[in-house]
Amino acid sequence: MRFLVTGASGFIGRALCRGLLERGHSVIGIVRQGRPDFAGVEWRAVGDISQSTDWSPHLSGVERVIHLAARAHRPGGGAGGEEPAAAAALLRAAAKAGARRFVQMSSIKAMGEETPQGAPLRPNDPPAPEDAYGRVKLATERALEAAAREDGCELVILRPPLVYGPGVKGNFRALLRLVAKGVPLPFAGVENKRSLIFLENLVDLAVLSALHPAATHGLFLCRDGEDLSTPELIRAIALGMGRRARLTRLPPAALSLARHIPGLGAPLSRLTLSLTVEDGATRALLGWKPPFSSRAGLVATARSFAERD
């Protein structure tokens, strides 16, 4: 099939384009500017995606759209700004051009940041995003749902938890760097559980959800095959680097206080609190099983980091 992928040069986008090509599909890769050094993809630069973007030159023959592109949140921009309208405009243009299905890469942050009672998030749980990013993701989902109802396009929404893999950036990369340097990490006593998804597992699901007959309309949660505590996560990373995990124990009360420190609180919360998802419905409906275990994915990620950095 012929796919159009937005955000095609990003962390997930490049892996998705590669996965589509390996499966025999053709890919139009949408980027803001330039032409990435990546053979096999038809690269198209469109600038910043907005509701006025002219998609007509790029949608000829396209049967599936996978929308990854997202604009960084602007303070004060709110959840009802440009990103939801831009996504809805793309869906309408794709439907008009004959594309049958639109896959939106959303985020579990559209539902919330924590599962404090130990019960995992499920697709039918009421969403309760806690930050601007999560609110924009939820608003984008709702704008797409309204556009899909009007234009008859099949809409699939994926809500992954934290995505990791070779080349990962952000807080996960910072954790890799700390483990690589042998910095003692005060999480030995943390008994949380976090759902994660390896990049290649997410690519596999994204392609499947774009093609599977049962995924005509759906909201799918996803994760690796097991949830990990922060100590388990750090040990798997250390294993991939051939290092010993240096875990120390800090009293829970001290960790709780540290979560209120500006600049430190948010990343520390992600490392000490629980956030799990239940993806049984996804697996049952699509017959999907993650191709890679979380430990294999973490070892591959850590080895790649150690080799490059």
Domain borders along the chain are 2-159
* Residues annotated as part of the active site: 133
Radius of gyration of the chain (CA): 20
Q: How high is the mean pLDDT of the chain?
A: 92
Pairing of strands 196-198, 218-221: unpaired
DSSP string for residues in 247-300: B-B--HHHHHHHTTSTTTHHHHHHHHS-B-B--HHHHHHHT---SS-HHHHHHH
- Are the C-beta atoms of residues 210 and 103 closer than 8 Å to each other? yes
273: Cα within 13 Å, side-chain hemisphere: 18
- Tell me if 172 sits within 8 A of 162, measured CB to CB: yes
Stretches where the chain sits below pLDDT 50 are 73-79
Contact 108, 277 (CB under 8 A): yes
Distances (CA, A) of 101 to 76, 98, 269, 295: 33, 9, 37, 33
| DSSP alpha helix (H) spans, the chain | 11-22, 82-97, 132-151, 170-181, 199-211, 230-241, 252-258, 265-272, 280-286, 294-308
In angstroms, the CA 208 to CA 210 distance is 5
pLDDT at 77 (0 to 100): 45
Q: Does domain 2-159 have CATH number 3.40.50.720?
A: yes
